[in-house]
Structure 1
Amino acid sequence: MLPPGGRISGVRLARLLGSWRRGGARQGSADLAAAVRLLVTDGRLPVGTRLPSERELTDALPVSRTTITAALDQLRAEGVVESRRGSGSWINGPVGTGGGITGFDDTLIDLSRAAPPALPSVRSAMEAAMLQMPEHLATHGYDERGLLLLRQRIADRYVARGLPTSADQIVVTSGAQHAWALVLRLFVGPGDRVLVEQPSYPNALEAVRASFGVPVPVPMLSDGWDVDGYEAALRQAGPRLAYLIPEFQNPTGLLMSAGQREALSAVLRKARTPMVVDETLVELSLDSAPMPLPMAAFGGDSVVTLGSASKSHWGGLRIGWIRASLDIVHRLLSTRAAIDLGTPVFEQLVLAALLETPEPVLRHRREEAREQRDATVAALLTHCPQWSFSVPAGGLGVWCTLDGPVSTRIAVVAQNHGLRLVPGPRFAVHGGCENMLRVPYTQSSEVLREAIGRLGVVAASVAGTGFPADAELLGPVA
């Protein structure tokens, strides 16, 4: 990813575009415009990036200059690209419904975010929080640890899961991504290696790079984590840190077993490598099987745990937290002021209200997610029978194995059918996963069935096998 205002070469842009052409010569400009648009909305062509000249693009792709000109004209008309005589062209930013991507019926179904809307209980929690605000308005409002009431209720959730925790071990943050950035600032310096799963959460990988660390991937197995692979990576890479998502791993949906937790913790402890565990999805167990103990129950003080209310309650709260030993908490607090001075009080009060009696709220979320997961699985079996996947026991997405290395092509073509998707390579450290696609189930069952019906049309088109018989049923989403 280039910084705003940087210039991308024709060769680099061609590499990012990949196999962008899906139709014949007549569709070349539309396909090229769609592929560039996807790179912008996907964050791989940041706003302000200067584009190569038309002549350089013609040499790099290679296509006719007429095709290049037509594609740029389309992007300029949409506001994605801006040009000025003598200054060239640059990315102006995605515009329009859903970030500049609209479908054939101007209706976008966003399958790029595995994040559900707020539960109804969030509104009542906000009303309760408003009643408590007056007592906080008389204070300065800064608290680098977080409100004691919220920290205690977060600690109580760990105790309920079998992990003794005090409020002093909790630091409230502005989301799990902020928590991860704070931990990276404490542990990782320029050039330090960080072990990560392959595939893994794209924003977590970007945070490692932003801290000038080097993500070192350890491939996931079909049934979970490769303990031997981690042991080899620890010997060869000498990492400063390891980042794991043991509960309904994003994007695979896998749940780490108690045996894997014990074995992997032992390997990391032996190498004296701290472990950062992302538990963002831990509350979204959708089956009746009991959950294993938290990783910190196996790794002890070498484990730093990240949590969040974004998936379980609502991303708009922007509340996360860190659970760690008292020593690490003190070190985190000593460096936090360089980044921020605390998390907003009102949102903390809202989450504290939600956690006062957490189970009814979480039960609602799980029931909703279970229904949407089952609708997604049924729709995938109907409309994308050539794909394979395992039904996740929790989390918010299905990780599909495609019938070929066409993930990026599917994401590009899907734009023309009113779908926004994240191609598989975004979840990989150095590329790959081109035969994989994540399908989140965070919308209503009705919308998911419509979206996956469209996805089936896209998959058949990309595979060149024609269109499903029920393609005429596809229409606008109410």
Structure 2
Amino acid sequence: MSLAAPTTTAVRSLSAPAASRLLGAWHTSGPVYLALADALRSAVLAGSLAPLTRLPSERELARALGVSRTTTSAAYARLRELGFATSQVGSGTVAILPRTAGLPLRPQTPAGDGPLPPLADGAGPIEMSQATPSAPDALHGAYERALEMLPAYLGTGGYAHLGLDVLREAVAARYRARGVPTTPDQILVTTGGQQAIALLATTLVSRTEPVVVESPTYYHAIEALQRAGARVIGVPTGDVESLASAVHRTRARLAYLVPDFHNPTGRTLTADERDAVVHLTDRYGVTVVGDETLTDLDLEGGTVPGPFCGDGTNTRLVSVGSASKSFWGGIRIGWVRATPQLVQRLARTRQALDIATPVLEQLAVVELLARRDEILPARVAGLRERRDLLVGLVRDRFPDWDVPVPKGGLCLWTGIGRPAAQALTAAAVAEGLRIGAGPQFTPDGTAQDRIRLIYTATPETLAEAVERLARAWRRVTG
């Protein structure tokens, strides 16, 4: 295997204290020098350590990390051996990005943006980082029905700031069917569930204000909160006691949870845990947003103990829903269930964004919600089959990995046994495969030993994806 870099002239330098902060909790089991080399290599592959950066001297790095100079010297030697560093007299050790078999190991942005590189054999890319299934057959008919309903709205200006009345009533009816008394004035229709989260963040959070989330969690929620200026604080997923402690300690006024088939872990809050959430809202006056976009995707049946908002009387429990996971991501319809007063506040906030949600898509979702009971069973059955297939494929190929079986949702939260998630996701890009690295789902960059795999693709694509994942893992492990 030939490893080479196009140039080795350093264009920037990394101090020893900065290197220590960058590496974080790098030392795992095994030889210390190998763990250090692996952490530095992962940083290069992930893009957090830019190529052509002069590394600290062996002595300075050893002092900053509290290890011997022999350790740092051996780690640098290992990096040179793997092609991730070069050393020259007078220039020190410089991090470089190797090229393996003519394919660059490109760093991946946290959200997985940008096109995947073409493969030498002409094979197409595989996307396993977007948790959204393809459209059901019923979608076409839903749009046909929407077009039939559209003339009734053409005499208006087309702006329904709170959403079309017919859709607000359909969403409210869905909550009522789940045992939550709800009126249309408690529903705000949004342009997707993501906008619903962003509106809540913008409306309810002040700059530098603490907001408590599960860690890991839906990474676009973290982004929305951070863009609103929040100081995002993570607590273990499903640990309501830690959630309450963090709310009490920080005096946070907002918390964000994914109660059903949590993205990415697949966990669902129990009935007792939901009761505990209600208790902490009463005790600390915190508003808790429950993201229920995955609630319909119950792959085992009957595993959701009840609606997040309980009986609907607690005004500090706010629900977010969406048509994206149940029906199709491209339809871009979401909603918020809250008090009428909060709905009006959110509607005023969204005026600076897109004013209102497209009419035709709202009408299509009205039809989809009406046909929900005939659409979802086949959809859930197909996802269950693909989940089981991917679990089996990954367990067979990687017997040392931790591959839990989620009871619902769209993804596997997979433990790879070493803090190399970012390195693996970057190497996978070179194989024409995009997956999610654990740290991007946390507010503090932890979960470095986890990756997220999506099982919405066809069986043939899932099989090919695991083959590419195996090739990427060989790149990482050498």
TM-score class normalised by the smaller sequence: 0.7 to 0.9
Counterpart residue number, 1:348:
362
User: Within the alignment, does 1:441 sit opposite 2:458 as a pair?
Assistant: no
Partners of 1:231 and 1:319 in 2: how far apart? 32
**2:304 alignment partner, SS class:** coil
Counterpart residue number, 2:416:
402
The structural deviation recorded for 1:378 is 1.1
> 5+ unaligned residues in a row in structure 1: which ranges?
1-7, 20-31, 46-50, 82-90, 465-478
Q: Residue 129 of structure 1 contacts residue 349 of structure 1 at CA under 8 Å; is this kept in 2?
A: yes
Q: In the TM superposition, what are the counterparts of 1:183-194 in structure 2 within 5 Å?
A: 183-194=200-211
Counterpart residue number, 1:210:
227
Q: TM-score scaled by structure 2?
A: 0.78
Q: Residue 213 of structure 2 contacts residue 256 of structure 2 at CA under 8 Å; is this kept in 1?
A: yes
Q: What amino acid is aligned across from residue 201 of structure 1 in structure 2? A: Y
1:358 to 353, 360, 372: 372
Q: 1:232 to 1:290 in 2, by over 3 A?
A: closer
Deviates more, 1:290-299 or 1:188-197: 290-299
Q: 1:266 to 1:420 in 2, by over 3 A?
A: same
Counterpart residue number, 2:467:
453
Partners of 1:113 and 1:264 in 2: how far apart? 29
**1:408 alignment partner, SS class:** helix
**2:249 alignment partner, SS class:** helix
Counterpart residue number, 1:387:
401
**1:355 alignment partner, SS class:** helix
**1:154 alignment partner, SS class:** helix
Counterpart residue number, 2:343:
329
Q: 1:33 to 1:100 in 2, by over 3 A?
A: farther
1:264 to 257, 277, 282: 277
The structural deviation recorded for 1:137 is 2.1
Question: Per-residue CA shift, 1:264-310, capped at 9, x if unaligned?
Answer: 22123211000111011011001023522112116711111111111
- Higher Rg of the two aligned structures: 2
Q: 1:9 to 1:210 in 2, by over 3 A?
A: farther
Partners of 2:86 and 2:246 in 1: how far apart? 43
User: Within the alignment, does 1:105 sit opposite 2:139 as a pair?
Assistant: no
Q: What amino acid is aligned across from residue 405 of structure 2 in structure 1? A: V
Counterpart residue number, 2:257:
244
Counterpart residue number, 1:472:
none
What is the aligned-residue RMSD (CA, Å)? 3.3
2:218 to 175, 178, 201: 201
**2:129 alignment partner, SS class:** coil
Partners of 2:231 and 2:95 in 1: how far apart? 38
> 5+ unaligned residues in a row in structure 2: which ranges?
1-10, 27-39, 57-83
The structural deviation recorded for 1:33 is 12
Counterpart residue number, 2:143:
126
Q: 1:11 to 1:102 in 2, by over 3 A?
A: farther
Q: What amino acid is aligned across from residue 456 of structure 1 in structure 2? A: A
Counterpart residue number, 1:164:
181
Aligned length: 413
Question: Per-residue CA shift, 1:147-198, capped at 9, x if unaligned?
Answer: 1111111111111111111111111000111011111122101011110001
Question: Per-residue CA shift, 1:28-70, capped at 9, x if unaligned?
Answer: xxxx99987865xxxx89xxxxx89x5xx24578646999899
The structural deviation recorded for 1:362 is 1.4
Partners of 1:71 and 1:460 in 2: how far apart? 17
Q: What amino acid is aligned across from residue 389 of structure 2 in structure 1? A: A
Q: What amino acid is aligned across from residue 148 of structure 1 in structure 2? A: D
The structural deviation recorded for 1:17 is 9.8
Q: 1:150 to 1:64 in 2, by over 3 A?
A: farther
